[in-house]
Amino acid sequence: MKQSKQLYQALKDIMQLPDTLVGSVVSVDKENNTCDVDISGIEIGEVRLQAVIKEDQKGFIIYPAIDSKVMVDQVNSKGVYRVSMYSEVEEVLLKIGDHVFSINQSGILFEKGEDNLKKLFELIIDAMKQTMVLYGNNPSFLKLTQAEQINETLFR
């Protein structure tokens, strides 16, 4: 990976390439919040998706989709690059303390520790199904069943 950075830097110096380039995402490393990007046949490794490369990083992270186009900026002359814009996103992740919010094709995840929003809605729906009203209207089991289906589709 380091050789590709050096090769890219040498070509950039010779060809006077701009600091911002467009390339295709080759792979994404979610543990280190980096991706590898192919720019005109030259692969740039460990392109940052966050300010620092660190496992279990908190903050806001956008993971690009494989084969999508991204804009890559050079951060410094030592071959450090970052993704600045995305054509396609695989996942958006926000971590603040022990709160996690994530959205991807599988659905939405909102959790704090062991608790999450999907589990909360399941408990409420289950409790409503057992409710019986003596005076007035009982809960609509059709609507509760629809709510369960939406909960399964929307949340993960």
Same domain, 53 and 22: yes
The last residue of one of the domains, among 64, 83, 105, is 105
Domain that holds residue 12: 2-99+101-105
Q: What is the pLDDT of residues 116-150, one digit of tens each?
A: 999 999 999 898 888 878 787 888 888 889 989 99
CATH of the domain at 20: 2.40.50
Same domain, 58 and 6: yes
Same domain, 81 and 118: no
Same domain, 50 and 119: no
What is the rounded CA–CA span in Å between residue 140 and residue 156? Answer: 25
Looking only at the bridges linking them, the beta strands covering 99-104 and 69-76 are unpaired
What is the rounded CA–CA span in Å between residue 95 and residue 57? Answer: 8
Q: What is the pLDDT of residues 53-110, one digit of tens each?
A: 766 678 999 999 999 999 999 887 777 899 999 999 999 999 999 999 999 999 999 9
C-alpha distances out from residue 28 to 33, 46, 103, 126, Å: 8, 9, 17, 39
Same domain, 21 and 75: yes
The answer to whether residues 141 and 132 touch, using CB atoms and an 8 Å cutoff, is: no
Same domain, 94 and 117: no
Same domain, 92 and 120: no
Domain count, the chain: 2
Q: What is the pLDDT of residues 53-66, one digit of tens each?
A: 766 678 999 999 99
Same domain, 72 and 143: no
Same domain, 55 and 6: yes
Q: What is the pLDDT of residues 20-42, one digit of tens each?
A: 889 999 999 998 899 999 998 98
The DSSP symbol for 12 reads H
Structure tokens at 76: 């410094």
Provide the whole-model pTM. Answer: 0.77
